Amino acid sequence: MKIMADAHIPFLKEVAEQFGEVEYLPGNQFTREAIKDKDALIVRTVTHFGEKILSGTNVKLICSATIGFDHIDTVWCDTHGIAWRTAPGCNANSVEQYLTASLLYLAGKYQFELKEKNHRHCGCWKCREQNRVSLPETRYECIAERSSKGRA
């Protein structure tokens, strides 16, 4: 399988090679000419993938290393036999790390204890199927449950 991958996707090199012959190119350099003989693309949101770039190519699969898909013309791909996949949740750990670091910074700057505060998490899905992750010794409150009780 011939694969074109965005050169700016971290940790991809030496992983993608197990699936085929991989060529790396910066995402903003993906053109119809560059991808015409590729079977699969591993992309980010830098380039829009629709009829203009995909028509007349061998591409059968687009894998996006992002949570969204507004950079893929999914209707055009679906009607032309091009499968597409995204990576929902791929940034969840980095969001958690950023939030934790921010809370610790603010607690230090404004001299308060985190255990004195309510930490609300809700991207719900019943709080990610009850896997409620919070900092030690903090009170946890589901915003969705609170809203359903009329206390939003």
Report the candidate in 83, 36, 78, 81 with the shortest Cα–Cα distance to residue 63.
83
Token look-up 């687009």 returns 62
Per-residue pLDDT band for 39 (boundaries 50, 70, 90) equals very high
Collapsing DSSP states into helix, strand and coil, what is residue 139?
strand
For residue 10, pLDDT beyond 50:
yes
Q: How confident is the model at residue 18 (pLDDT cuts 50, 70, 90)?
A: very high
Pick the CATH number of 2-85 from 3.40.462.20, 3.40.50.720, 2.60.120.200, 3.20.20.20: 3.40.50.720
Q: Residue 119 is which amino acid?
A: H
- What's the pTM value of the predicted model, to 2 decimals? 0.64
Residue 151 has pLDDT above 80, yes or no: no
Any idea where the domains of the chain sit in the sequence? Answer: 2-85, 92-148
Share of the chain above pLDDT 70, in %: 76
Helices (H), the chain: 32-35, 51-54, 74-79, 92-109, 125-130, 143-148
Question: Where does the pLDDT of residue 143 fall: very low under 50, low under 70, confident under 90, or very high at 90 and above?
Answer: very low
Greatest Cα pair distance, the chain, in angstroms, is 61
